[in-house]
Amino acid sequence: MTTNPQKRIVSVVSPKGGVGKTTVAANLAAAVAAAGRGVLLIDLDPQNAARLHHQMPLSDGAGLAVQTLLRQPWANAAFRGPYGVDCLPFGALTDHDRRVFEHELDANPQWLRQNIEALGLNPGSIVIVDTAPGGTPYLPQALQASDIGMCVLLPDAASFVTLPAMARWYAEAAQTNPSLRGFYVLNRMNNARLLCRDVGTALSRDLGDSLLPVEINFDSAVEEALASQSPILKYAPESPASRDFAALANWLVNLP
């Protein structure tokens, strides 16, 4: 396995909800940990759902948003999940507090980058940031802080028509963060369906090398894993999706 001494920050993004973005982020984090790399999963989505894949107590409202408003270190809200992933949840905010928090993000475009640096992560760590879908205040924060953007798409027409918006967001972020590389990954791919194959072919044609060579195949065990608050690699290690996430982690770890 290639050793990369540099910290790598990956933002998992999507122009629309319902594509399995959080599931991809949480399971990719578990696969990176299983590959032997230190990994921090940051939830930058007010839905605060990434923690559910790593068994954080449902009653715990701590998180990075709460810490930010309290002017307290993020590390105080981090927890180590049972599968080797360090997790930093979003936290539970009232609607009013969320608006105050988002105003702070608008005022400081480098907020996320600065707070990740303040954590003092070990060299070689991989940070995976799960972001809110669409053009929210969280997206530019994530892309400004990241080396890699990973846009999750479904093999359907609805995802296909969002490509121009995502391409625009990548291009805008690259103007001030030239190290950003934007990629796309297909989730819930079902090669038994003609529509999925057709959309996959069209995406490959239009996206070229920015479409990852690894796709996450449809696997009912993924939803079962979430119900048990476990990553798919622990819940069903021999399942197709487990192999896909392991391959995706391998791609990420060895990306030059």
Domains parsed from the chain with CATH numbers: 8-254 (3.40.50.300)
In this structure, the chain runs to a length of: 256
DSSP-assigned beta bridge partners for residue 181: 148
- Contacts of 209-213 with CB under 8 Å at 24 or more apart are 210/182, 210/183, 210/184, 211/183, 211/184, 211/185, 211/186, 212/150, 212/183, 212/184, 212/185, 212/186, 212/248, 212/251, 213/251
Q: To the nearest whole percent, how much of the chain has pLDDT over 70? A: 98
Per-residue pLDDT at 56 exceeds 90 = no
* 8 Å CB contact between 129 and 145: yes
Distance between the two ends of the chain, CA-based, in angstroms? 12
| Overall average pLDDT of the 117-131 stretch | 94
The per-residue pLDDT for 5 is 53
| Overall average pLDDT of the 189-204 stretch | 93
Q: What is the pTM of this model?
A: 0.94
The per-residue pLDDT for 31 is 97
Alpha carbons 237 and 239: distance in angstroms, whole number: 6
Give the lowest-confidence range in 2-6, 135-139, 163-167. Answer: 2-6
- Alpha carbon dihedral 202, 207, 208, 214, in 10-degree steps, equals -80
DSSP-assigned beta bridge partners for residue 129: 11, 42
| Overall average pLDDT of the 198-209 stretch | 94
| Overall average pLDDT of the 66-85 stretch | 93
Per-residue pLDDT at 252 exceeds 70 = yes
Per-residue pLDDT at 62 exceeds 80 = yes
What's the whole-number average pLDDT of the chain?
93
Per-residue pLDDT at 19 exceeds 60 = yes
Q: To the nearest whole percent, how much of the chain has pLDDT over 90? A: 84
Alpha carbons 217 and 245: distance in angstroms, whole number: 10
The per-residue pLDDT for 60 is 82
For residue 151, the SS3 value is strand
Amino acid present at 204: S
Per-residue pLDDT at 4 exceeds 70 = no
The per-residue pLDDT for 2 is 42
Q: How do strand 181-186 and strand 148-153 relate by DSSP bridges?
A: parallel
